[in-house]
Chains A and B, each alone.
Chain A
Amino acid sequence: MPHRLELTIKGTFALVTMMRNFEDEINTVSNFYYSHSSKRKSHLDMTAEKLKQRTYALNKIRKVGWAASSARSIRGVRRNLPILFIDLRSKLKEKELEDSWPEVKGMLNHLTTRKFIFLLHFMSDFYNTMSILSESYQEDTALLIGKEKSRLNLVNYSIKSKNSYGPEVIEMLGHSRRYPALDESDIDSDNEVESHACNVEEFLTSEGKVFWNDEELTANRRQRENVLETKNSFLEILL
């Protein structure tokens, strides 16, 4: 039974293009820090130490793996994200990198899109719920008693998440704020700028500047159009 659960999710991921790209982006981060010399990871640790924060493991999303493993790798990137921004930006400024400069620049561009930030928090919520069910099937003492109810809970959660979102997304929206499209002079003077928390549609479709954790998030027209559609098509295929 846990295998069927995992295979369904993996199969659904494979059918939706944006979800495949999202998986690739998570794996790119992991590859960048772990698949080359240890300098990169130690640089990240040093950055975290300067900020008096800790780093979390950046694992890959594997093609064959439990849901809990994918949940861990998504959670790792989400927790490390502010440190990753600072680390990658400092790498660009210091110009330490010669060959990997385009890689860092490209990765930074991908990580600071609204699409990526939204999907990261959404999938984090979704995978956490699913890994609880998956682990309950893997327990030594797992019985069939009560399993149908927990399966229905997951289905209901997936249906609900079409309209209302989980705790991670709500927290993300609380930390994000939208600046209406103003002149640069208006944005410089803090007193005149109206900043407030966004809802999901505003967060994804706003024409003005959107900030998350003091990081300006980019969005082009194509991304604005299809993030919510992608999320819904993912859930529809799954259900």
Chain B
Amino acid sequence: MADFDIFVPHQLPHNLSDAQFYGIAEIQRLAARFDLEPVKTSKEWSYLLTSFITSNFLCDHKVKKSWFFWPEALKNPNGDLRWSENIRKLMEIILTLPAGSAKTERAFSIMKHAKYDGRSSLTVNTMDDK
């Protein structure tokens, strides 16, 4: 799970020399985990970081949280960020992975307000909209 920490926005490098080697090993591990090509993805990651620096995107979105920063970067508003196929896929996977299941479990808890154990005859078909 420590590999995900390289995507924290305020830790991303601001120098071109740092951008070439930042998070290479982590990206390769993540890419292998999600069936992407590790070497290719890590190269694309370096290009992406370089484009972040040259396009001033990092300076403009310095204080933003990761759930706002990365979707904004994926939209690529000025068209100057280099999103290649593999790294885009990896980022989309990471943004769709939930950190916990609390939100979904709350839905079951709310359902139990209506469909509690005492109302055993209340079937799923009866509750369904159809």
**Interface on A for B, CB 8 Å cutoff?**
1-3, 136-149, 151
Contacts and interface: CB of A to CB of B under 8 A. Distances in A.
Contacts of A148: 1-2, 4-5
A144 B99 contact: yes
A145 B100 contact: no
Interface of B: 1-2, 4-5, 7-8, 65-67, 70, 94-95, 97-103
A138 B67 CA distance: 14
B102 A2 contact: yes
Contacts of B94: 143-145
Please provide the 8 A-B residue pairs with the shortest distance between their CB atoms, ordered closest to farther.
Answer: A142-B99, A141-B67, A137-B100, A138-B102, A145-B66, A148-B2, A144-B4, A145-B7
20 contacts: A3-B100, A137-B99, A137-B102, A139-B99, A140-B103, A141-B65, A141-B67, A143-B4, A143-B66, A143-B95, A143-B98, A143-B99, A144-B4, A145-B8, A145-B66, A145-B94, A146-B5, A146-B66, A148-B1, A149-B8
A18 B49 CA distance: 53
A149 B9 CA distance: 13
Nearest to B96: A143
B98 A142 contact: yes
Contacts of B102: 2-3, 137-138
A28 to B, nearest CB: 28
